[in-house]
Chain A
Amino acid sequence: MFTALRRYAIENELLYLFLHNRIAQLAALVALLCLGGAALAPWIAPYDPYDIASIDLLDSLLPPAWSEDGDTRFIIGTDDQGRDLFSAILYGTRLSLLVGLLSIGFASILGITVGVLAGYLGGRFDSIVMRIADVQLSLPAILTALLIDGIARGILPRESHDNLMIVVLTIAIGLSLWVNFARTARASTFVEKSKEYVQAAIIMGMHPLRIMVVHILPNILGPLMVILTIDLAVAILLEATLSFLGVGVPPNQPSLGTLIRIGTEYLFSGEWWVVLFPSLTLIIMIVAVNILGDFLRDALNPRLR
């Protein structure tokens, strides 16, 4: 059993490279910690920041536990409303990661579908879709997100705002990121389409959709995985930016961006911990995900090795 596992580890390129790359392992560990912390937040967080009853305004803006005025109940202090910062960060990471993953899922499904279709069909469909993608690329991602966010605020009734905010955010971020997927998928599809196994399938008279799904898609997943990881970091960052600007998630559901925005207001009055810890969490998470993305790119792209 163990020898079989070892043999597999040697034969599987990705696993082998991973086992010999300390930095990638570290990044994976950090990313897993973030993911675990986020997923298990309701169970491991000492306080529930959504529970207004447990929040005491008298506890507001307490410094970290190790400083003079610190309170041992709050390890890294509290924010302006007296919420435990550590719990808030756990919940915030949860929300940030959720929005990031959802919007990347949305962007990748949209982008890959469009890209594979454009690459396979070519012609007019390809030209039109890729021009739309070009236009999209010329708009900064943040602008697209703001635009959609603004439109949604205008259309949706006020009371359903807060509930639908996550969906709106997902669509806004997803729409500003789908182009990467579409372009990569299209270029890879072009390459695969001219290969002989695809020609063999065309000669057989297989349905184009089947060719795309069964033959082309599995063969272009490598580069798409790379985009997926790197863009996950971008999505999390975009969410934080939008929340920081105040157009993201509502303030009573803190995401990392919201926490940082709140923190900046107290930066000059000496309450540094409110902004520092959420920012550190965000930076560490983004760096870890980016390193993982870089590792995947090196591992899956034989030309870079």
Chain B
Amino acid sequence: MALLEIIGLTVKFPTRFGNFTATNNVSLEVQAGEIHGLVGESGAGKTTIGAAVMGLLQSPGYIGSGSINLAGENLLALDNNQYHRVRGNRISMIFQDPQTSLNPLLTVADQLIETIRQHSDVTADDARTQAIQLLEETGLSDAKQRIDDYPHQFSGGMRQRVVIALALCTQPELIIADEPTTALDVSVQKQILALIRTLAKDRGVGFILITHDIGVISEITDQVTVLRSGRVIESGDTRQVLMQPTDNYTRALMAAVPRLEQRLHRFNNIVTDDSIIDGDDHWQVDGASAKLASDWLLSGHQSSDTGTTASTTPVLAVKDLEVTFQSGQPGWFQSRSGVKALSNINFDMHAGEVLGIVGESGSGKSTLAKSIVGLVDPSAGELRFRGQPLPPGSKRHRKHPVRREIQMIFQDPYSSLNNRLTVEQIIAEPIRFYKLARNRAHIRQLVASVLELVEMPQRAMLKYPHQFSGGQRQRIAVARALVARPDFLICDEPTSALDVSIQAQILNLLKDLQEAFGLSILFISHNLAVIRQMTDRLLVLKNGKLVEISNTDRFFREPAAPYSQQLLRETPSLSHLNAR
């Protein structure tokens, strides 16, 4: 008999727009000792299934039909008190963010011992011994010394181990892990995944692993269920589903996953964005077309082929760059102290090149971008743009030409657009500000054309940002950066807030634009596979220091620095599916 059996689960949320069906007739089974992956893009209903099993559906959501059986016992028939005994005792949960799932005011010992004693009748001393054992089992080597520490004294990965220990301390039969490694760096992710694998094998615990990351799914799950808009698309043995998908959607999803092994010219066969504005797509501004936009953008490029000197001087030269963040104002007799976010950074970037910057969180990737665009002042070193020295942000004149020539695309499309302006106003702003158009009609025409260039209907210009999805908003952000007619584009994690299929679309778009306009792009990402697809050369940062600069192809063949090798080894990849 299966450990967990979900049959025909339908969860509904009444909203003022009518009933929203979060999951529709979902069935799946989890055996003891098995890791069952739930994969899907945002809004697929993954988390809703987890919450339904835990009996923790957010009000006003309710279960419309179906049943959930844990070892043959129907959970939906239980009343609140009985459910309370199942929850935590027989089913546990691991949450995404270890920062918020532990109580910062209690020591790890307090939290573990409390939970253990809540669920079994043991003395405090016995509970403590158990807690130490659990921490050791989850890979905290000096558990005895560290058990009395507070959560903030542990690193992110260690904290997630504590969370797992907390989930284990009631000897549950089933653990639901909701994006357990999404907030962690790859090296830590690898260890946590290995831990989950071991626990499933040794303790015979069934896991439901909810994630949007196909790499994670391929790495550790036995069975996988692919969800889309609340429906099961495909389900079965992980290897089979991922390697020989039978459904079109799964196939498209797999095609959209960036690979480490090879660079594709474009992502093919990806899911089309069918949510783009329904109805009157024929609304047009007179004379506006993608052609007009691309001609206009090309006519504004003075940098390329102006002569041999232009092509030999690097577009951007960074020399001995150092950025220090001051920790408060220094007193009269104190010397300045601070944290070095970047030190000793040297590199050149050539015209038309795509340079990747890779590093884990806190490695200084974004600081580097910010010091180039002038949001952060370097404390030492020199930046040169096309051979001319680039003044630091606070001394850079507002009318300095690089303010137009360097544009930036941000990570979060939800905060990078002003919600109170229409899309037309947002895109027209740079045109108007840099005085790039002749008159109002021309501006309007350009806005419509650029929208078409980024594959949005022209009608979008009449709407407000909140009426668009994340991917569409990112297209609008790209359009806004483009209309300034930049030579140099900085993309700071432009797709890390997006679903894979949307990510593939945006990456395709950026590739096309780069090719068409010969843009130089500084592409920042923590995702090696994305970097592989996008860049010609890359540099690896660690703790604010340059670890390696390399040609992208060579880097993935033979990384030179030990840190790069480690990084590459730890990144989940789909290649082992072929090998196994």
Binds B, one of A138-146, A203-211, A263-271: A203-211
Chain B residues in 8 Å Cβ range of A202:
374-375
A219 in contact (CB, < 8 A): yes
A154 in contact (CB, < 8 A): no
Smallest CB separation, A195 vs chain B (Å) = 4
Mask for B398-422, Cβ within 8 A of A = 1, else 0? Answer: 1110011011101110011111110
Mask for A175-217, Cβ within 8 A of B = 1, else 0? Answer: 0000000000000000000011101101111110000001100
A204 B430 Cβ-Cβ under 8 A: yes
Interface size on A, residues (CB 8 A): 17
A199 vs B415: C-alpha distance in the bound complex, in angstroms? 10
A8 in contact (CB, < 8 A): no
Smallest CB separation, A140 vs chain B (Å) = 34
Mask for B413-452, Cβ within 8 A of A = 1, else 0? Answer: 0011111110000000110010000000000000000000
Chain B residues in 8 Å Cβ range of A197:
415-418
Known contacts A10-B16, A10-B17, A16-B16; is-contact A203 B408 (Cβ 8 Å): yes
B212 in contact (CB, < 8 A): no
Closest to A9 in B: B16
Selected from B397, B421, B433, the residue in CB contact (under 8 A) with A204 is B433
A219 B420 Cβ-Cβ under 8 A: yes
Chain B residues in 8 Å Cβ range of A218:
418, 420-421
A203 B433 Cβ-Cβ under 8 A: no
A197 vs B404: C-alpha distance in the bound complex, in angstroms? 16
Smallest CB separation, B477 vs chain A (Å) = 8
B480 in contact (CB, < 8 A): yes
A202 vs B374: C-alpha distance in the bound complex, in angstroms? 9
Q: Quick one: which of B399, B421, B484 has the most chain A CB within 10 A?
A: B421
B433 A206 Cβ-Cβ under 8 A: yes
A10 vs B429: C-alpha distance in the bound complex, in angstroms? 31
B373 in contact (CB, < 8 A): yes
Chain A residues in 8 Å Cβ range of B415:
195-197
Known contacts A10-B16, A219-B418; is-contact A199 B398 (Cβ 8 Å): no
Smallest CB separation, A219 vs chain B (Å) = 6
Closest to A13 in B: B16
B16 A205 Cβ-Cβ under 8 A: no
B416 A200 Cβ-Cβ under 8 A: yes
Chain A residues in 8 Å Cβ range of B480:
200
Overall SS of chain B's interface: loop
Closest to A216 in B: B418
Smallest CB separation, A13 vs chain B (Å) = 10
B17 A200 Cβ-Cβ under 8 A: no
B16 A204 Cβ-Cβ under 8 A: no
Smallest CB separation, B279 vs chain A (Å) = 13
Mask for B309-320, Cβ within 8 A of A = 1, else 0? Answer: 000000000000
B400 A205 Cβ-Cβ under 8 A: yes
State which residues 1-55 of A face B: CB under 8 Å. Answer: 10, 16
Smallest CB separation, B429 vs chain A (Å) = 8
A205 B398 Cβ-Cβ under 8 A: yes
Chain B residues in 8 Å Cβ range of A207:
398
Closest to B17 in A: A10
Smallest CB separation, A26 vs chain B (Å) = 22
Known contacts A16-B16, A196-B416, A219-B418; is-contact A203 B410 (Cβ 8 Å): no
State which residues 191-231 of B face A: CB under 8 Å. Answer: none
A199 B410 Cβ-Cβ under 8 A: yes
B403 A204 Cβ-Cβ under 8 A: yes
Selected from A203, A206, A215, the residue in CB contact (under 8 A) with B373 is A203
Smallest CB separation, B39 vs chain A (Å) = 29
Selected from B400, B408, B418, the residue in CB contact (under 8 A) with A215 is B418
Smallest CB separation, B473 vs chain A (Å) = 11
B403 A196 Cβ-Cβ under 8 A: no
Smallest CB separation, A299 vs chain B (Å) = 14
State which residues 363-406 of B face A: CB under 8 Å. Answer: 373-375, 396-400, 403-404, 406
Mask for A216-232, Cβ within 8 A of B = 1, else 0? Answer: 00110000000000000
A218 vs B406: C-alpha distance in the bound complex, in angstroms? 27
Smallest CB separation, A196 vs chain B (Å) = 4
Closest to B484 in A: A204
Smallest CB separation, B414 vs chain A (Å) = 9
Closest to A203 in B: B373
B398 A200 Cβ-Cβ under 8 A: no
A16 vs B480: C-alpha distance in the bound complex, in angstroms? 33
A204 vs B483: C-alpha distance in the bound complex, in angstroms? 12
Q: Quick one: which of A195, A202, A204, A214 has the most chain B CB within 10 A?
A: A204
A199 B433 Cβ-Cβ under 8 A: no
Chain A residues in 8 Å Cβ range of B419:
219
B373 A205 Cβ-Cβ under 8 A: no
A205 B418 Cβ-Cβ under 8 A: no
Smallest CB separation, B482 vs chain A (Å) = 13
A206 B410 Cβ-Cβ under 8 A: no
A218 vs B398: C-alpha distance in the bound complex, in angstroms? 23
A200 B410 Cβ-Cβ under 8 A: yes
Smallest CB separation, B436 vs chain A (Å) = 12
A196 vs B16: C-alpha distance in the bound complex, in angstroms? 31
A219 vs B16: C-alpha distance in the bound complex, in angstroms? 25
Chain B residues in 8 Å Cβ range of A16:
16
Chain B residues in 8 Å Cβ range of A219:
418-420
Given A196-B412, A205-B433, A206-B398; 16 other pairs, CB 8 A cutoff: A10-B17, A195-B416, A197-B417, A203-B375, A203-B406, A204-B403, A204-B404, A204-B430, A204-B484, A205-B396, A205-B398, A205-B399, A205-B400, A215-B418, A218-B418, A219-B419
A-B CB proximity, top 3 nearest: A218-B420, A196-B416, A205-B403
Could you jot down 19 A-B contacts, CB within 8 Å?
A16-B16, A195-B415, A196-B411, A196-B412, A199-B375, A199-B410, A200-B408, A200-B410, A200-B480, A203-B373, A203-B374, A203-B403, A204-B429, A205-B398, A205-B400, A205-B403, A207-B398, A218-B420, A219-B419
